[in-house]
């Protein structure tokens, strides 16, 4: 996470007061406990993954979507984070990724089998945790998000290296891969009042899409010291994202570019060409519009001002992350 994003989350925590901070602390404690009692190797891998942290953005969405703090929120926040981490661990196996957030992945430390088993364990723990809340709706929402994640992951791999991914298909993939779990976090936290839950679901989807769009811009712009990844990692992986899709329409050299033939220097050069077409500002503008829409939907649903302020800060944080 960049320093600006960290600062932004700090502001949310400050504004959220001790209640929010306490929910997050209890979620951390719960995540640490999840890794206990599953045998030394598996516990070590799962524990290391959970301790590696991250923004805990999804649990924060669970908490801020609820009208009142409540013990069930800690469990629900932990469950959503566990599902998120399970998919990251399996993604790293498929990508053969050695590092995540600057730390060695489970795949790097334990190999393919250990990482597959660790992800499986985190999947099952996510659902076992959530069952503790006694809400069938919550489990159904998590299961639907889990199915969406799996479909999004498959779609990304099906579209790898493709020359004809449409913007619509790209957005559908982002929805499945990223936005649906944001939506799920909001829905699980939300009180069942229909207008409120619907508004929070829309909010979750829109900031999820904005998050993914800006993440994909960042892969083009770098710099690596901010993102922890070399520029053009997506291009080298064959992942076709919105900046490339739009830039291909404007620059014939990009339209003819064979991603499979790229080396890191070629990927950096392609990133420069993508930036030169001016599409990055368009993608950023689309993301910002989604964030604005997310914020205005909350206002229209009559969500109380204090929560709206915090959710607005989270939404702005998604944009800040990349500014």
One symbol per residue from 109 to 148: x for binding its own copies (CB under 8 A), - otherwise; what is it? --xxxx-xxxxxx-xxx-xx--xx-x-x--xx-xx--xx-
- Report how far apart, in Å, the C-alpha atoms of 219 and of each of 122, 203, 224, 319, 323 are: 28, 24, 9, 15, 13
Nearer Cβ to its own copies (36/305): 36
H helix runs in 132-257, sequence order: 136-158, 167-174, 180-189, 194-221, 224-227, 233-237, 242-248, 252-255
Both tokens assigned to 48: 């290391």
Q: Is residue 151 close enough to count as binding its own copies by CB under 8 A? A: yes
Show the site string, 39-78: x = touches its own copies by CB under 8 A, - = not: x-xx------------------------------------
195 lies in the site for its own copies, by CB under 8 A: no
The distance in angstroms from the start CA to the end CA of the chain is: 13
Taking alpha carbons only, the member of 92, 62, 228 closest to residue 153 is 92
- SS3 call for 104: strand
Of 231, 235, 220, residue with least CA distance to 162: 235
**Nearer to its own copies (CB atom), residue 131 or residue 198:** 131
228 within 8 A of 215, measured Cβ to Cβ: no
Q: Which of these ranges, 70-78, 153-161, 283-291, 307-315, lies near its own copies under the rule CB under 8 A?
A: 153-161
To its own copies, the closest distance from the beta carbon of 164 in angstroms equals 18
Q: Which is nearer to its own copies, 18 or 40 (CB)?
A: 40
State the residues that interact with its own copies by CB under 8 A: 37-39, 41-42, 83, 86-87, 90, 93-94, 111-114, 116-121, 123-125, 127-128, 131-132, 134, 136, 139-140, 142-143, 146-147, 149-151, 153-155, 157-158
């Amino acid at each position: 996470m960049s320093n600006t994003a960290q600062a932004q989350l700090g502001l949310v925590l400050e504004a959220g007061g001790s209640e929010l901070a306490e929910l997050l602390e209890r979620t951390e404690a719960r995540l640490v406990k999840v890794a206990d009692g599953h045998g030394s190797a598996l516990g070590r891998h799962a524990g290391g993954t959970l301790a590696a942290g991250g923004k805990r953005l999804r649990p924060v969405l669970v908490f801020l979507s609820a009208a009142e703090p409540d013990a069930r929120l800690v469990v629900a926040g932990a469950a959503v984070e566990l599902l998120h981490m399970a998919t990251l661990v399996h993604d790293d196996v498929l990508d053969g990724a050695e590092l995540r957030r600057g730390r060695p992945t489970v795949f790097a430390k334990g190999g393919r089998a250990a990482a597959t088993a660790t992800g499986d364990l985190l999947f099952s723990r996510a659902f076992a945790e959530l069952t503790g809340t006694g809400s069938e709706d919550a489990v159904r929402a998590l299961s639907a998000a889990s199915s969406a994640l799996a479909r999004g992951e498959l779609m990304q791999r099906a579209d790898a290296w493709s020359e004809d991914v449409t913007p619509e298909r790209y957005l559908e993939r982002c929805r499945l891969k990223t936005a649906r779990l944001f939506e799920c976090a909001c829905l699980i936290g939300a009180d069942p009042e229909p207008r409120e839950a619907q508004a929070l679901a829309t909010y979750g989807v829109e900031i999820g899409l904005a998050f993914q769009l800006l993440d994909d811009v960042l892969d083009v712009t770098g710099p690596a010291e901010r993102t922890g990844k070399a520029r053009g990692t997506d291009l080298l992986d064959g992942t076709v994202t919105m900046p490339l899709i739009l830039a291909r329409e404007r620059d014939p050299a990009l339209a003819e570019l064979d991603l499979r033939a790229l080396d890191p220097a070629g990927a950096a050069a392609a990133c420069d060409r993508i930036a030169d077409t001016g599409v990055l500002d368009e993608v950023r503008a689309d993301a910002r519009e989604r964030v604005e829409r997310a914020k205005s939907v909350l206002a229209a649903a009559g969500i109380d001002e204090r929560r709206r302020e915090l959710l607005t800060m989270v939404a702005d944080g998604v944009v800040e992350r990349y500014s």
